[in-house]
Amino acid sequence: MCGIVGYIGEDEKKEILLEGLKELEYRGYDSAGIAVIDKEHLESFKAVGKLENLIRKTQDFKAPGFGVAIGHTRWATHGKPTELNAHPHLGKYSYVVHNGIIENYQELKKELINSGINFLSQTDTEVIVHLFEKYKEELNDNFEAFKKTIERIDGAYAILLITKDEPDTIFFAKNGSPLLIGFNDKNEVFFASSDTAIIGKANRVYYLEDGEFGYAKKDKVVLFDKDGNLKEINTKPLATDKLSAQKEGFRFFMEKEIYEQSNVVVDTMLGRVLDSEIVFDEIKEGFLDGIDAIKICACGTSYHSALASSYLFERIAKIRCDVEIASEFRYKEPLLSKDTLFITISQSGETADTLEALKMAKRAGLKSLTICNVDNSSIVRESDVALLTRAGIEKGVASTKAFATQTLLLWMFVLYLASKRGVISKEFLEEEIRHLRETPKALKVTDKLHSKIHRLSKRYLHGHGFFFIGRDIFYPLALEGALKLKEISYLHAEGYPAGEMKHGPIALADSELFTIALMPKTLLYEKIKSNVEELSARDATILAISPEPFELADDFIQTKYATHPMIEFFEMMVITQLLAMEVAIRLGNDVDMPRNLAKSVTVE
């Protein structure tokens, strides 16, 4: 999830690019860069870290007069955040910026290296500019070369490319990642990943659709649809409020991030989930040799994704897996053995307790792997291997899309490990891969579901507390649902194993105790059903979430019949997230910045 800007016009181009990138920093900021062509002059700057480093580096650079310019803030998916990996990427006389993931970049990179091209970076993006120049030399036509380049790449992309060979043109293409074109009455042309970068500069906008591509010059923009037919550009007025533009029309970043889950999980799987195997380039051959146990350490929501995955590690990969809360692990004098792979899970990669736990494990000589959303974070740098969740920046303090991508990535890693250990068949793996690919659909938020939860939430604004109950992998989901509600509504909620209610907590059951029962059909349904019946018999108020109608429910949210527990898991997860958010909104709380909480807990 990177930020892209582009500009064609007479104004000072550096300032326009930097102002645009500043508005996109929420999309990614581990490195940034700009490239400018005015007449014959090609200039580019890149800097690692926050955008202010690039601003400092370019303070003496000016780019007045007519020209074309592109800029980029990076959220690393392939290759560490270094200056070499920062965009724009340079060929011999062209620059490219890209947001997305090119699934077949290795095949293309090999082909280009074999034809004598030298690569500078570890990124997938760099193949675009070398491919373009290769075809330019073959076809002697820039647009045809660009078109052929786009035809060769698979995956998600938003691309801007400029070349010294045609210094008044920006070539563009969009598939899966956002890209828009802005226009104004000064005949300038703008490109951006989202509205905020061009508010106040453009007054009309066109949102590119998947598969569309073309080229832009000062006095004209030529657009083609996914079938290569010329397409008329129907612009619409551009929003004027920057903050609401960043939220892209949602009321809160948390709401936007819940809706984004269906898309970001596609990125999590890109280049990793193939038809018959799971691939992690990040894991070198032999890294897992000798590993015969898993220990996972995390905090909060990340602990919940860890707990859910522990069922899968033992059930599918047939490997012992235990999960620890980092702040407990640190002081319990744990017994650690070198055959244990120590996994940390962290959205921020800066959680102090998790980082210290990791250092303890490393001092004990264990191999370490982290599942993290922020490349180059402390936990990523400290780990032997980092698998990035690719959720993009998560601004809501209450974690949603990070949890979804952590859980998905762990499911993928379990399958990867099970394959390595030879404990699952090819057929089983292919079946699981088919289910993995159902995840985006399971995470889709429908208007019907959201409005039902909005209506229903009015009944849950009081009461003396909530129990979220579930069994097996739905127990960690119950913990997560309770945490979501607690942290943004400030109402008391507990996640509990459904089978444990009769060992004490059922004493709390009465009509003012709200029980959110996760009742999947694919896993232990009869067991959870009898647990909920016990509660209903004691007059607890029940909100049942299940594909199977449950007549004792006071409220009922029907989910889809699925053929895999993890698909039910993701669908129910979205419901608990929306419920927590709608209750908090009704209570008038700041959903994105709940009281007493920070997005990254770097204190002990």
Active site residues: 2, 599
149 in contact with ligand AGP (CB under 6 A):
no
Long-range residue pairs from 566-569, CB within 8 A, at least 24 positions apart, any chain: 566/407, 566/411, 566/435, 566/439, 566/473, 567/435, 567/438, 567/439, 567/442, 568/442, 568/474, 568/520, 568/521, 568/522, 568/523, 569/308, 569/407, 569/473, 569/474, 569/477, 569/520
Report the nearest approach of ligand AGP to the CB of residue 486 (Å).
9
Under 8 Å between Cβ of 380 and 386: yes
Among 300, 392, 470, 495, interactor with ligand AGP by CB under 6 A: 300
List of residues 6+ apart from 151 with CB closer than 8 A: none
Looking at the Cβ atoms of 23 and 394, the one nearer to ligand AGP is: 394
- Residue 518: CB atoms within 10 A of its CB come to 30
Looking at the Cβ atoms of 155 and 392, the one nearer to ligand AGP is: 392
The stretch among 232-240, 296-304, 562-570, 573-581 that binds ligand AGP (CB under 6 A) is 296-304
Among 85, 149, 302, 389, interactor with ligand AGP by CB under 6 A: 302
Looking at the Cβ atoms of 130 and 256, the one nearer to ligand AGP is: 256
Look up residue 122 and give its DSSP letter: S
Q: Which residue is nearest to ligand AGP (CB)?
A: 300
The stretch among 234-242, 244-252, 299-307, 518-526 that binds ligand AGP (CB under 6 A) is 299-307
301 in contact with ligand AGP (CB under 6 A):
yes
The stretch among 40-48, 347-355, 415-423, 553-561 that binds ligand AGP (CB under 6 A) is 347-355
Residue carrying the six token digits 């909060």 = 300
List of residues 6+ apart from 220 with CB closer than 8 A: none
CA atoms lying within 13 Å on the CB side of residue 444 = 9
- Calculate the CA 157 to chain-centre distance: 15
**How far apart, in whole angstroms, are the C-alpha atoms of residue 444 and residue 251?**
18
Structure tokens at 549: 């109608």
261 in contact with ligand AGP (CB under 6 A):
no
Looking at the Cβ atoms of 105 and 569, the one nearer to ligand AGP is: 569
List of residues 6+ apart from 404 with CB closer than 8 A: 261, 264, 265, 391, 443, 570, 573
Looking at the Cβ atoms of 265 and 391, the one nearer to ligand AGP is: 391
Looking at the Cβ atoms of 263 and 351, the one nearer to ligand AGP is: 351
Phi and psi, residue 556, nearest 5°: -145, 125
68 in contact with ligand AGP (CB under 6 A):
no
For ligand AGP, what does the binding mask look like between residues 399 and 418, x meaning CB under 6 A?
x-------------------
Closest CA to 43 of 15, 18, 72, 63: 63
Site for ligand AGP in 354-373 (CB under 6 A): 354
85 in contact with ligand AGP (CB under 6 A):
no
The stretch among 17-25, 223-231, 345-353, 517-525 that binds ligand AGP (CB under 6 A) is 345-353
388 in contact with ligand AGP (CB under 6 A):
no
572 in contact with ligand AGP (CB under 6 A):
no
501 in contact with ligand AGP (CB under 6 A):
no
Among 24, 397, 409, 567, interactor with ligand AGP by CB under 6 A: 397
246 in contact with ligand AGP (CB under 6 A):
no
Report the nearest approach of ligand AGP to the CB of residue 301 (Å).
3
Looking at the Cβ atoms of 55 and 587, the one nearer to ligand AGP is: 587
347 in contact with ligand AGP (CB under 6 A):
yes
Sequence letter at residue 494 = E
Q: What is the 3-state secondary structure (H, E, C) of 370-408?
A: EEECCCCCHHHHHCCEEEECCCCCCCCCCCCHHHHHHHH
- Calculate the CA 577 to chain-centre distance: 16
Report the nearest approach of ligand AGP to the CB of residue 399 (Å).
4
Pairing relationship of beta strands 155-163 and 94-102 according to DSSP bridges: antiparallel
List of residues 6+ apart from 566 with CB closer than 8 A: 407, 411, 435, 439, 473
73 in contact with ligand AGP (CB under 6 A):
no
Looking at the Cβ atoms of 304 and 564, the one nearer to ligand AGP is: 304
Under 8 Å between Cβ of 322 and 295: yes
The stretch among 169-177, 300-308, 465-473, 555-563 that binds ligand AGP (CB under 6 A) is 300-308
377 in contact with ligand AGP (CB under 6 A):
no
577 in contact with ligand AGP (CB under 6 A):
no
601 in contact with ligand AGP (CB under 6 A):
yes
Under 8 Å between Cβ of 508 and 500: no
**How far apart, in whole angstroms, are the C-alpha atoms of residue 120 and residue 123?**
9
Looking at the Cβ atoms of 170 and 326, the one nearer to ligand AGP is: 326
Looking at the Cβ atoms of 5 and 355, the one nearer to ligand AGP is: 355
List of residues 6+ apart from 95 with CB closer than 8 A: 35, 37, 42, 44, 70, 88, 89, 129, 161, 162, 163
Alpha helices (H) in 224-284, listed in sequence order = 242-246, 253-269
The stretch among 92-100, 164-172, 348-356, 515-523 that binds ligand AGP (CB under 6 A) is 348-356
600 in contact with ligand AGP (CB under 6 A):
yes
The stretch among 16-24, 113-121, 346-354, 571-579 that binds ligand AGP (CB under 6 A) is 346-354
CA atoms lying within 13 Å on the CB side of residue 549 = 1
- Give residues in contact with ligand AGP (CB under 6 A): 299-302, 346-348, 351, 354, 397-399, 487, 600-601
